[in-house]
Amino acid sequence: MITSEKLFSFFADAGIKFFTGVSDSCFAPLVNYLQAHEKECEHIIATNEGEALAISAGYHLSTGEIPVVYLQNDGFLNLMNPLTSLVDKYVYSIPTLLLISWRGAPKRKDAGQHKRIGEIISDLLDLLDIPYHVYDGDNNKLRGAIDKGISRAKKENMPYAILFFKGDIESYPCPHDVDAEMSREEAINTILNNTDEEAIFVSTTGKTSRELFEYREKEGHEKDFLNVGAMGYANAIGFGLALNTNKKIFVLDGDGAVLMHMGNIATIGHYKPRNYYHILLNNFAYDSTGGQPTVATNIKFCEIAKAVGYSYAAEVKTRAELVDEIKHLNTIAGPAFIVVYVKKGSRSDLGRPTVPLIELKRKFMGFLGV
């Protein structure tokens, strides 16, 4: 294990000053540290991994220096396009240092959505001719790998990767806080308690899906699709559903997820599914990975939704307002967009889905009569 302070010092000693990426639970301590020491470096929290790599390319092009891009291996595929068509040696040959958290690694227990990428991430790096080092707890080796990676990146103008496992970096407190009346779980329960019994719910990645699952434990899960992976795509899944059923589709989304693939809402607004209700649970944070801030603070989501074609948009801050708004949604046609401001955090005993995902899919499709 290594502390964020020590890891940062390795980069600082090597002349690294620029960091960008999308946080996950592995790199949350480092991201928290960077946020707390923003005067000592330049740090950009990106909305998706491909954007982070493109930002890093711009940084290198304007400074000649080596940037660091951090990401979870699930997000590696988000940066595959700029990795192969922008920074690759056959295109612009732009160097960067990739910090990748290895979720779902062979022989390591993890959530199902990490299994496939965990099996193949090393093969992908080999296929792309990206050399890498796997952190094994030896900090002297890590420092050597960072120096080697930077030297190689500069010499060959190509990426170099260092892989970490969850728990490799010692915890560091998050400096970001949010003030709101409701917890996310309370908001979810309030929404479900005030919607049509036949309504379908699609929940975004992370704790939102876990909280929805636990709410349904007593009554069954056939009305819900838990998007446990594929961050940023719950709203698109819901749109695809809305096109092929008359049932009302409620999407429980998050600010980080919406920001990751924001073009999705333009498609929804253009096609205007009348049975589509998009609820953004906004805590201005990547809550499932440690609470690091998103860039949602100054974004007017309702104005954006209206601008791209949603027929209705509103925001609520209290439970009473939420009850009234959900009851109102039951009387109007979509697409509608509701922003619900919620607190960061969750119950300490919040579990994960205990039913195999394939079984959940079968029950869901059965409820839809497929």
Tell me if the bond preceding 131 is cis, omega within 30° of 0.
no
Give the list of residues 6+ apart from residue 81 with CB closer than 8 angstroms, or none.
Answer: 50
Cα 301 to Cα 307: distance, rounded to the nearest angstrom: 10
* pTM of the model as a whole: 0.93
Smallest CA-to-CA distance from 66 within 177, 160, 167, 132 is with 160
- What does the mean pLDDT of the chain come to? 95
pLDDT tens sequence across 69-91: 999 999 999 999 999 999 999 99
Cα 314 to Cα 232: distance, rounded to the nearest angstrom: 21
Smallest CA-to-CA distance from 207 within 350, 92, 323 is with 350
Res 177: pLDDT = 78
Largest CA distance in the chain: 63
pLDDT tens sequence across 302-315: 999 999 999 999 99
Whether pLDDT at 107 is above 80: yes
**Percentage of the chain lying above the pLDDT 70 cut:** 100
Helices 184-193 and 319-329: angle between axes, nearest 10 degrees = 40
Whether pLDDT at 176 is above 80: no
pLDDT tens sequence across 258-277: 999 999 999 999 999 999 99
The two beta strands, 292-293 and 285-286, are: antiparallel
300: phi then psi, degrees, rounded to nearest 5: -95, 85
User: What is the rounded average pLDDT of the residues 276-296?
Assistant: 93
Cα 281 to Cα 105: distance, rounded to the nearest angstrom: 31
Cα 45 to Cα 57: distance, rounded to the nearest angstrom: 15
**Percentage of the chain lying above the pLDDT 90 cut:** 91
First-to-last CA distance in the chain? 49
Res 228: pLDDT = 95
User: What is the rounded average pLDDT of the residues 185-194?
Assistant: 97
Cα 291 to Cα 176: distance, rounded to the nearest angstrom: 7
97: phi then psi, degrees, rounded to nearest 5: -105, 115
Q: At residue 87, what is the residue type?
A: V
User: What is the rounded average pLDDT of the residues 97-125?
Assistant: 93
Res 328: pLDDT = 97
Res 226: pLDDT = 98
